[in-house]
Structure 1
């Protein structure tokens, strides 16, 4: 099954480069969830900009040599540096969801951690921010960047993280608030169930038994963003983008472990669950008025 790309959903715009904005919750989300699309659009000559809501202060740290950062005040600053280097690898512009001149260095809100955590009670926790206030900040940035396309999470935030869900809400509200003549097309990342099953088979064949990683099988639960194939209406498939995505993920060393075999790369987060980097991402267009997929 071949689907059009989000760019192909646009009205004909001549030969001018597109403007693409991806809105994410924490450093590394941009490369994990939309890295193929970001690298693909850069290679097309489009202008690509990532907006990040927090510094990821509550992230779990994988490498033993960096374990002292977990839970410390220094983790956010370290992840800011990781994100800077990852954005350079992808060749994209970047800013934070922040006020005025601070947007390049200091987000307005901080990582909320998982639901029920102590971090969620912090007065600056992003998940607890007034949606209207955050949407106004984002709408201001979108009014300057004037994107043709905006990419973000589905209503479940991909896998249910409160900051991802909040990012979806804020992005939908921001796009909806723009004048219709400036309103970009809004897409959320979804994954066809058939892709996940194919990737699990691939991982079972390629991840060494002694790697210390968990390889999900066909009976394991799916993330909320994994949906029936028919619900995924658009896709970006670009094997050439994978090398850029891998280099960017390696810059997020506190959060992501990347592995390569002759047939391709895969990665794992702190949960030790292997996931394939297959050079493909699924999307569905969202109605800014409802936040729900169109069609």
Structure 2
């Protein structure tokens, strides 16, 4: 599966050669679609093994229920477990859309993975643990920070090695070629996204370490792919979005607004110079656009007005648009981009920080 070369210096790739699968690590239901949807859909379409690990159930998410996007579910906002249960159903539907059918994309919630406990109590049953949405506050346009009222069970407060050992067990079981997640600042700063990145990095080290108390045979052959966006491509797509007649009509009818292409960009945006050959990968969105938009629509409490761009009046870098609960239209870019780190392969580095050590 190939397509036109990505803009900038990124190396174009759709599905790397080999037999290994893809494992995506995300904080909440909907993140798998918004951050890595085209990557997941492309691998699934190629018949390669694909799995998603979700760290929380999005208990503290806002719920969209407006005249232009009526879900009838406004009552679920702030309802904790009830919202979590509903978002689980949305996630099932979204994964089916990305995979081209039910069951194609495997899934697990991180807190449902049992691993040996390093404490004297032995094995901690998964049922005794619940990783919850930490919540967030907006600290700048498009940039989030920690919430002041995060619960004690918030994922951002979970001991790093507790979460990472669970993910390492999944890595040893599935033995993927690629692990995809956020860049180190969580894409836009959400504390759960930052924690998911840190957990993925630590889990890769633990999975490769033969001395780590993690079930299964060591696995150190997974490369880490961190989702990013070229700054120039994002600004250009925002300008194309504002100029698209259909998007302007939608905004006029619904009260949605457009992002400022000249404002400071969130942490996921990287200058082209940072996306050097051999470090960045680009994935075509166009061949799997229908799957990605279908998955967005499945997350109806979180995503609204997921729309493909018509060929007339849309630029080459803009494939569509959508909005979150903030009511700001966001472009669907022509490519997803990832910064790539080499596989660990050796347990030497991992053994420098054994499970249970202070961090």
- Using the size of structure 2 for normalisation, the TM-score is 0.73
Match of 2:85 among 74, 77, 91: 77
Shift in Å, 1:221: 1.7
Matched, 1:214 2:257: yes
Give aligned pairs, total: 284
1:2/1:108 Cα in 2 relative to 1: closer, same or farther (>3 Å)? same
Match of 2:133 among 96, 111, 115: 111
1:116/1:195 Cα in 2 relative to 1: closer, same or farther (>3 Å)? closer
State which drifts further: 218-227 or 244-253: 218-227
Shift in Å, 1:117: 2.9
CA contact (8 A) 1:6 1:283 kept: no
Matched, 1:151 2:184: no
More helix by percentage: 1
CA contact (8 A) 1:94 1:104 kept: no
Query: Structure 2: where are the runs of 5+ without partners?
Result: 1-7, 67-71, 100-104, 116-124, 137-144, 210-217, 312-318, 351-359
1:219/1:100 Cα in 2 relative to 1: closer, same or farther (>3 Å)? closer
RMSD over equivalenced CA pairs, Å: 2.5
- Using the size of structure 1 for normalisation, the TM-score is 0.88
SS of the aligned residue for 2:183 comes to coil
Matched, 1:281 2:336: yes
1:273/1:153 Cα in 2 relative to 1: closer, same or farther (>3 Å)? same
Q: Distance in 2 between matches of 1:173 and 1:217?
A: 36
Which one has a bigger Cα radius of gyration? 2
Match of 1:175 among 187, 201, 204: 204
Q: Distance in 2 between matches of 1:2 and 1:276?
A: 21
- The aligned residue for residue 242 of structure 2 is 204
Query: Structure 1: where are the runs of 5+ without partners?
Result: 291-295
Pairwise mapping of residues 199-278 of structure 1 onto structure 2 (< 5 A)? 199-206=237-244, 207-208=247-248, 209-210=251-252, 211-232=254-275, 233-260=280-307, 261-263=309-311, 264-278=319-333
Match of 2:33 among 31, 34, 39: 31
Pairwise mapping of residues 41-190 of structure 1 onto structure 2 (< 5 A)? 41-64=43-66, 65-73=72-80, 74-91=82-99, 92-100=105-113, 108-114=130-136, 115-117=145-147, 119-120=149-150, 122-179=151-208, 182-183=219-220, 184-190=222-228
CA contact (8 A) 1:231 1:284 kept: no
State which drifts further: 234-243 or 137-146: 234-243
1:195/1:105 Cα in 2 relative to 1: closer, same or farther (>3 Å)? farther
SS of the aligned residue for 2:286 comes to coil
Shift in Å, 1:230: 2.3
Q: Deviations over 1:133-175 (max 9, x none)?
A: 1100100011101100000001110000000000010000000
